[in-house]
Structure 1
Amino acid sequence: MLRTSTPILAPIREKVEAGERLSFDDGLLLYDPQVPLPELGELANLVRERKNGNAAYYNINTHLNPTNVCVYRCTFCAFRADLRDKKSYWMNDEQVLARGQEAVNNGCTEMHIVGGLHHQAKYEWYRKVISLLHEAYPELHLKAWTPVEIDWFERLTKQPLRWVMEDMIDAGLGSMPGGGAEIFHPEVRSQICEHKADSGRWFETHRTAHELGLRTNCTMLYGHVEKPFHRIDHLIRLRELQDETNGFQTFIPLAFHPDNTGLSHIKKPTGPEDLRTMAVSRLMLDNIPHIKAYWIMLGIGTAQIALSYGADDIDGTVRHELIYHDAGAETPEMMTVADLRRLIEEAGREPIERDTLYRRVERSEAGWEAGAAIGSN
Structure 2
Amino acid sequence: MRAVLENALDVASRGDRLDRDQARVLYEQAGLHELAGLAHGARMAHHPDNMVTYVCDRNINYSNVCSCGCKFCAFFRAPGDEQGYVMEHDELGRKIEETIAVGGTQILMQGGHHPDLPLLFYTDMLGYIRTTFPSIHVHAFSPPEIVYFSNIWGMSVREVLKEFIAAGLHSIPGGGAEILVDRVRTAVAPNKCNTDAWLGVMREAHQLGLRTSATMMFGHLDTPEDRLEHLFRLRELQDETSGFTAFIPWTFQPSNTALSDIEPATSVEYLRLLALSRLVLDNFDNVQVSWVTMGPKIAQLALFYGANDFGSTMLEENVVAAAGVSFRLSREEIEFLVREAGFTPRQRRMDYSLVESTGAESSTGGAA
Relative to the length of structure 2, the TM-score reads 0.94
Match of 2:365 in 1: none
> Could you tell me whether the CA contact under 8 Å between 1:8 and 1:35 is conserved in 2?
no
Cα distance between partner residues in 2 of 1:255 and 1:310:
16
Q: Which residue does the alignment assign to 1:45?
A: 40
- Quick one: which of 184, 194, 200 aligns to 2:190? 194
1:92 matched to 2:70? The reply is no
1:31 partnered with 2:27: yes
User: Any residues of structure 2 matched to 1:106-255 within 5 Å, and which?
Assistant: 106-255=102-251
CA contact (8 A) 1:316 1:340 kept: no
Which residue of 62, 68, 84 corresponds with 2:64?
Answer: 68
Deviates more, 1:294-303 or 1:122-131: 122-131
Residues 35 and 19 of structure 1, relative CA distance in 2, 3 Å threshold: closer
Structure 2 gap ranges (5+): 362-368
- Residues 75-103 of structure 1: CA distance to partner in whole angstroms, max 9, x if unpaired? 11111012444532211121112212121
Aligned twin of 1:355: 349
1:260 Cα offset (Å): 0.8
State whether residues 218 and 249 of structure 2, in contact with CA within 8 Å, keep that contact through their aligned partners in structure 1. yes
Q: Distance in 2 between matches of 1:265 and 1:41?
A: 30
CA separation in 2, counterparts of 1:209 and 1:48?
27
Task: Tell me, yes or no, if the aligned pair for 2:214 and 2:248 is still in contact at 8 Å.
Answer: yes
- Partner of 1:330, secondary structure, is coil
Measured after TM superposition, the shift of residue 243 of structure 1 is: 0.4
**Could you tell me how far apart the structure 2 residues matched to 1:214 and 1:158 are?**
22
Deviation at 1:321, TM superposition (A): 0.7
Amino acid across the alignment from 1:112: L
Does the CA contact (< 8 Å) of 2:206 and 2:241 recur in 1? yes
- Which amino acid is 2:200 matched to? E
Counterpart residue type for residue 88 of structure 2: N
How many Å separate the matches in 2 of 1:87 and 1:314?
33
Structure 1 CA distance, aligned partners of 2:348 and 2:187?
A: 37
Q: Which amino acid aligns with 2:169?
A: L
Counterpart Cα distance in 2 of 1:366 and 1:238: 36
1:301 aligns with 2:297: yes
Contact 2:63-2:84 within 8 A present in 1 as well? yes
Partner secondary structure for residue 53 of structure 2 = strand
Further displaced range: 100-109 or 272-281? 100-109
Give, in angstroms, the shift of residue 37 of structure 1: 0.5
Tell me by how many angstroms 1:7 deviates: 6.3
Deviation at 1:129, TM superposition (A): 2.1
Instruction: Report if the CA contact (8 A) 1:123-1:156 is conserved.
Output: no
Is residue 355–residue 361 contact of structure 1 (8 Å, CA) maintained in 2?
yes
| Counterpart in the other structure of 2:366 | none
Aligned residues: 359
TM-score, normalised relative to structure 1:
0.92
1:272-311 matched pairs, under 5 angstroms? 272-311=268-307
Relative to structure 1, the CA distance from residue 364 to residue 313 in structure 2 (aligned partners, 3 Å threshold; closer, same or farther) is closer
SS at match of 1:323: coil
Whole-angstrom CA distance in 2 between matches of 1:13 and 1:290: 22
Question: Which residue type is aligned with residue 337 of structure 2?
Answer: L
C-alpha change, 1:352 and 1:86, in structure 2 (3 Å) is same
Cα deviations across residues 116-144 of structure 1 (Å, max 9, x unaligned)?
12222222112222221111111110000
Aligned partner of 2:334 in structure 1 is 340
SS at match of 1:31: helix
Change (3 A) 1:156 1:16: same
Q: Indicate the SS of the match to 1:253.
A: strand
Contact 1:56 1:351 in 2 (8 A): yes
Say if 1:365 and 1:235 are closer, same or farther in 2 by CA, change over 3 A.
closer
Partner Cα distance (1:118, 1:238) in 2: 28
Q: Which amino acid aligns with 2:284?
A: I
Using the TM superposition, name which of 121-130 and 225-234 deviates more.
Answer: 121-130
Equivalent pair of 1:130/1:168 in contact (CA under 8 Å): yes
CA contact 2:8–2:23 (8 Å) conserved in 1: no
Which amino acid is the alignment partner of residue 86 of structure 2? W
